[in-house]
């Protein structure tokens, strides 16, 4: 028996590759399936089943393509309805993979089709659970992502989740290994651990949602408290996972086209393509194409794309570090952004050599900011961190404009007013500035090193209570 967790940090997502006696199963595969095919060829095994724990919202699964390439059937739990051929299992149904048995445990709550797969070893002993978004390490799946599918409320789903955990998972032995679908950083939960594997016994001891003395009412309150709106792309990814999608091979062929500066500029104008610059923020600050949006590959790339590019069908042109073009297109496709039309050959160096227009971002050091702050303040300070970060500690007089909800709060910013912009350390603020500049806001100055740099000066007044000048409430209810 072999169990391999294939963890993708950008999405904080775990897929699972299981082999036994010449057969394999894959649970919750990513969109690009070649790595799984390569593993199976190297191991000399045949894929027997593709198991999906639920309809994923935060990424496009590779189940459809993997099934097409291998002939292996796709398995979902009860209540699932797909537009493609699949096995809709019943609760407690058994599947054989080599000498192993995989038992279906229907665990609704995160979504109504959510299913945990219990793996039994060659001796028919419970060995591990693949809990999807039902049980995370330190947390459980948010119960608000499926509410629009019917008349169920968030509280209804949270109640189902309570029952699923108590009746299906908690009775299992403490030594059973827990393999969740996500870890810290995923928007599918609130407070996950950084670890990606644990024992069920340890989770029973430390996971707030598994407290033995917890009532259903207490569980519902704690699980639903503090949920921020899910990113808009979640619903679109669910639809793709239910209905199917274009082959990743087609997506890559369309996107991996090297374009000269003239070709790049022409497509940007004629195809209404968004220019996405994925280099490091320091490179973007120094020189970028006017109107380009910055989202760096090194900083939670795919989730930020999903949160900030509203149209999943948007045509996209790429500016990437040399050798990172294929990775960029792949990571876009993971969250359903399939319409990459090419990349700038030779990058910004080639663009500048061609005599094309460039732009830059005005910045200021934390010390210089402190000097200006002590004089007459002429600029509003926009803090684009999350509301929880802002409420914990912020600069006196700052206005919270969370990056996650920037598009929804655009009308609250004065296009003619000057602004300082900052985040925690300098990544998110450049994303925000790039979006604002593309929308016609140009009197913007980035505070280098963000809040950490300002705090380190010891000269800037800070507070830990809510500033009355904030967009947080509007963002949370948008």
pLDDT value of position 175? 98
Same domain, 146 and 258: no
- The verdict on residue 198 lying in a domain is yes
pLDDT value of position 467? 46
| Chain mean pLDDT for the chain | 93
The two structure tokens encoding residue 430: 């450049």
Average pLDDT over residues 371-395: 84
As a whole number of angstroms, the distance between CA 308 and CA 306 comes to 6
pLDDT value of position 80? 97
pLDDT value of position 186? 85
pLDDT value of position 10? 85
What is the SS3 assignment for 280?
A: coil
pLDDT of 473 above 50:
no
The enclosing domain of 190 has a CATH number of 3.60.15.10
Helix (H) or strand (E) holding 251: helix 248-255
What is the SS3 assignment for 1?
A: coil
Q: Examine the fold and report which residue of 353, 376, 395 is the final residue of a domain before the chain moves on.
A: 353
In 368-386, which positions are buried (b, 16+ CB within 10 angstroms) versus exposed (e)? ebbeebeeeeebbbbbbbb
pTM for this predicted structure: 0.91
pLDDT band at 470 (very low <50, low <70, confident <90, very high): very low
The enclosing domain of 462 has a CATH number of 3.40.250.10
Same domain, 70 and 156: yes
pLDDT band at 76 (very low <50, low <70, confident <90, very high): very high
- The verdict on residue 45 lying in a domain is yes
- Dihedral sign for Cα 296, 302, 304, 309, please: positive
The two structure tokens encoding residue 118: 């219990």
Residue of 443, 391, 392 whose CA lies nearest to 421: 443
Distances (CA, A) of 421 to 28, 96, 312, 335, 365: 39, 56, 27, 28, 12
Same domain, 294 and 381: no
Of the ranges 279-293, 296-310, 422-436, which one carries the lowest mean pLDDT score? 296-310
As a whole number of angstroms, the distance between CA 145 and CA 56 comes to 10
pLDDT band at 250 (very low <50, low <70, confident <90, very high): very high
Average pLDDT over residues 181-194: 86
Same domain, 250 and 278: yes
Burial of 325 from C-beta contacts in 10 A (0-12 / 13-18 / 19+): buried
Of the ranges 13-27, 95-109, 127-141, 388-402, which one carries the lowest mean pLDDT score? 388-402
In 103-139, which positions are buried (b, 16+ CB within 10 angstroms) versus exposed (e)? bbbbbbbbbbbbbbbbbbeeeeebbbbbbbbbbbbbb
CA atoms within 13 A on the CB side of 335: 27
The per-residue pLDDT for range 189-228, each reduced to its tens digit, is 878 999 999 999 999 999 999 999 999 999 999 999 988 8
pLDDT of 476 above 50:
no
Q: What is the DSSP string of 190-208?
A: SS--S-S-EEHHHHHHH-G
Same domain, 369 and 417: yes
Residue of 464, 451, 297 whose CA lies nearest to 381: 451
pLDDT value of position 465? 52
pLDDT of 477 above 90:
no
pLDDT value of position 227? 85
The per-residue pLDDT for range 311-326, each reduced to its tens digit, is 999 999 999 999 999 9
**Cβ–Cβ under 8 Å, residues 69 and 45:** no
- The verdict on residue 10 lying in a domain is yes
As a whole number of angstroms, the distance between CA 16 and CA 34 comes to 14
Q: Examine the fold and report which residue of 353, 370, 400 is the final residue of a domain before the chain moves on.
A: 353
Of the ranges 76-80, 330-334, 369-373, 384-388, which one carries the lowest mean pLDDT score? 369-373
The two structure tokens encoding residue 134: 């039902």
Q: Which domain holds residue 452?
A: 362-477
pLDDT band at 68 (very low <50, low <70, confident <90, very high): very high
pLDDT value of position 101? 98
Average pLDDT over residues 417-436: 96
- The verdict on residue 197 lying in a domain is yes
pLDDT of 469 above 50:
no
pLDDT value of position 270? 93
* Domain total in the chain: 3
Same domain, 251 and 205: no
pLDDT band at 464 (very low <50, low <70, confident <90, very high): low
- The verdict on residue 240 lying in a domain is no
pLDDT, greater one: 375 or 36: 36
Same domain, 399 and 268: no
Same domain, 213 and 292: no
The two structure tokens encoding residue 258: 């090297």
Average pLDDT over residues 81-101: 98
Average pLDDT over residues 374-385: 79
Neighbours of 328 (CB within 10 A): 24
pLDDT of 119 above 90:
yes
Same domain, 317 and 407: no
Same domain, 275 and 378: no
pLDDT band at 475 (very low <50, low <70, confident <90, very high): very low
Same domain, 366 and 349: no
Q: Examine the fold and report which residue of 235, 264, 281 is the final residue of a domain before the chain moves on.
A: 235
pLDDT band at 148 (very low <50, low <70, confident <90, very high): low
Pairing of strands 94-97, 115-120: unpaired
Same domain, 302 and 269: yes
- The verdict on residue 194 lying in a domain is yes
Distances (CA, A) of 299 to 266, 336, 362, 462: 29, 18, 21, 26
pLDDT value of position 374? 62
């Amino acid at each position: 028996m072999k169990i391999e967790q294939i963890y993708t940090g950008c999405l904080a997502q775990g897929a699972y590759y299981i082999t036994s006696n010449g057969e394999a199963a894959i649970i919750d595969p990513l969109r690009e399936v070649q790595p799984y095919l390569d593993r199976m060829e190297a191991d000399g095994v045949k894929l027997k089943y593709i198991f999906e724990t639920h309809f994923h919202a935060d990424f496009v699964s590779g189940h459809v393509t993997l099934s097409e390439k291998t002939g292996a059937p796709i398995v979902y739990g009860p209540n699932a309805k797909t537009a493609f051929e699949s096995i809709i299992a019943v609760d407690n149904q058994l599947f054989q993979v080599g000498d192993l048995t995989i038992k279906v445990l229907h665990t609704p709550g995160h979504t109504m089709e959510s299913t945990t797969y219990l793996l039994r070893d060659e001796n028919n002993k419970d060995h591990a659970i693949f809990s999807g978004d039902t049980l995370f390490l330190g947390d459980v799946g948010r119960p608000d992502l499926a509410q629009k599918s019917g008349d169920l409320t968030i509280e209804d789903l949270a109640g189902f989740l309570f029952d699923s955990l108590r009746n299906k998972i908690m009775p299992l032995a403490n030594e059973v290994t827990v393999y969740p679908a996500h870890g810290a950083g995923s928007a599918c939960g609130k407070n996950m651990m950084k670890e990606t594997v644990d024992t069920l016994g340890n989770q029973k001891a430390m996971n707030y949602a598994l407290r033995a003395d917890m009532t259903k009412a207490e569980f519902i309150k704690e699980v639903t408290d503090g949920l921020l709106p899910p990113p808009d792309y979640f619903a679109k990814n669910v639809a793709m996972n239910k209905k199917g999608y274009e082959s990743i091979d087609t997506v890559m062929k369309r996107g991996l086209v090297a374009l000269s500066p003239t070709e790049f500029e022409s497509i940007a104008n004629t195809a209404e393509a968004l220019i996405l610059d994925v280099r490091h923020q320091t490179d973007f600050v120094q020189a970028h194409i006017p109107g380009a949006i910055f989202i760096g590959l090194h900083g939670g790339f795919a989730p930020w794309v999903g949160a900030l590019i509203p149209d999943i069908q948007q045509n996209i042109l790429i500016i990437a570090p040399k050798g990172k073009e294929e990775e960029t297109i792949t990571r876009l496709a993971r969250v359903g952004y399939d319409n990459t039309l090419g990349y700038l050959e030779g990058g910004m160096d080639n663009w500048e050599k061609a005599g094309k227009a460039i732009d830059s971002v005005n910045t200021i050091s934390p010390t210089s900011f402190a000097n200006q702050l002590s004089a007459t303040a002429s600029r509003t300070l926009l803090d684009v961190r999350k509301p929880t970060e802002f409420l914990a500690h912020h600069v006196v007089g700052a206005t919270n404009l969370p990056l996650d909800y920037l598009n929804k709060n655009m009308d609250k910013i004065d296009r003619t007013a000057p602004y300082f912009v900052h985040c925690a350390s300098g990544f998110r603020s450049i994303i925000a500035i790039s979006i604002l500049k593309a929308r016609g806001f140009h009197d913007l100055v980035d505070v280098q090193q963000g809040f950490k740099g300002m705090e380190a000066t010891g000269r800037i007044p800070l507070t830990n209570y809510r500033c009355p000048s904030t967009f947080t409430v509007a963002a949370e209810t948008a």
